Amino acid sequence: MKDKPVILVVDDQPQNIELLEAHLVPQGYEIVKAANGEEALGKLSGNQIDLILLDVMMPGMNGFEVTRRVRQDNTHRLLPIILVTSLREKEERVKGIEAGCDDFISKPVDKMELLARVRSLLKVKAYNDLMSNYRKELESEVTRRTEELKRAEGQLQKSLQQTKKVLEEIVGALSSIVERRDPYTAGHQRRVAELACAIAGELNLPEVQIEGIRVAGIIHDIGKINVPAEILSKTGRLSDAEFNIVKTHSQIGKEILESIDFPWPVAQIVHQHHERLNGTGYPQGLSDGKIILEAKIMAVADVVEAMASHRPYRPALGVEKALEEISSQRGLLYDPQAVDACRELFDKKGYKLV
């Protein structure tokens, strides 16, 4: 285990590297230096890097291209990258986000801002590493338990209980990652999961199917770990480019979850929860008949909870407005049975979002 977090500092100006080093080393960080993009990519293969501080305007390979190259390597897909730049135009920053960076620091660098952003992204990386370790532990546990089951059938129930516990811990860790990245929607995933399960119960779905909906609901926004925090917490209207970045969370969520062997179609539910019956949703533009029932239920629950709750870009609209929305778009955007079941819960059975 490393004693210190390792930060790769990339800049073609030695004095800039020396300044960042002077800020970071006294705080307990180990610094690895690179003078250009090619050298930086080489350092990644030879060092266990925890975060990259990357200058944008460099001769040869600029910071945008370095970021794209790093993201093309699946090993470093979630490695935090902060672009250190004097560029202040929105288009240039959007270009950096599209390349795959996580955050920006403007030149001249402010020490307190630098340390705060570095600490924040290192915490996110720690949670990503925890998630990866949990997955490896689960795979190891399943393999070991399978061998035991061959020798002792009586251990089946115990093994299933232990595996379920590990799975619950993974789901909890995944949910925590999203809420730490997007505190304004803290509790959103839990409330969506609870409402989706209540709708599924109203539709008399089997318990095993409802359990899959619950798990998917708790982590349906896991892909937002790939959306920069400044976009998630933006108080103003998102630009088209920023909204396109937000919309990638369904695809990213599916990519993260499909490697976990859930007994339910969790990755598919997460992938489709923003699809709409008339094909106007995302990320695939699926229409009715191609969207699974669990995702249709999740879509209704997600819209109702989101509209009823506060967001950084608007105050809460309330449950009544949310119910009016799903009712007006019943059969066009939202599944009629799911809409009717949701209205039954709120209108006649006193259901409340808590």
Domain ranges of the chain: 6-109, 124-181, 183-348
pLDDT of the residue at 283: 96
Helix (H, G, I), strand (E, B) or coil at 9: strand
Q: Which two tokens stand for residue 354?
A: 């808590």
pLDDT value for 207: 94
pLDDT of the residue at 201: 97
Classify residue 24 as exposed, middle or buried by CB count within 10 Å of its CB (0-12, 13-18, 19+). Answer: buried
pLDDT of residue 234: 82
- pLDDT tens for residues 118-156? 999 999 888 887 887 777 887 888 888 777 766 666 555
Note the pLDDT of residue 126. 83
User: Which strands, in side-by-side order, build the sheet including 30-34?
Assistant: 30-34, 6-10, 51-55, 81-85, 103-106
pLDDT for position 250: 95
DSSP conformation letters of 167-218:
HHHHHHHHHHHHHHH-GGGTTHHHHHHHHHHHHHHHTT--HHHHHHHHHHHH
Report residue 30 as tokens: 């180990």
Distance CA 291, CA 275 (A): 7
6 exposure class (CB count in 10 Å sphere: 0-12, 13-18, 19+) = middle
pLDDT of residue 293: 98
- According to the CATH classification, is domain 183-348 in 1.10.3210.10? yes
Residue 300 and residue 333: Cα distance in Å, rounded?
9
Q: What number of H helices and E strands is found in the chain?
A: 15, 5
| Amino acid (one-letter) located at 17 | I
* Element spanning 282, H or E: none
Query: CA 225 to CA 182: how far, in whole Å?
Result: 9
**Which residues of the chain, if any, have pLDDT below 50?**
1
| Coil/strand/helix, residue 103 | strand
Q: Please report the pLDDT score of residue 15 as a whole number.
A: 95
Q: Write down the CATH superfamily of domain 6-109.
A: Response regulator (3.40.50.2300)
Q: What is the pLDDT of residue 323?
A: 97
Nearest to residue 9, comparing CAs of 124, 22, 211, 231? Answer: 22
pTM, to two decimals: 0.55
Q: What pLDDT is stored for residue 333 in this prediction?
A: 97
What is the pLDDT, as a whole number, of residue 164?
64
Query: What confidence score (pLDDT) does residue 339 get?
Result: 98
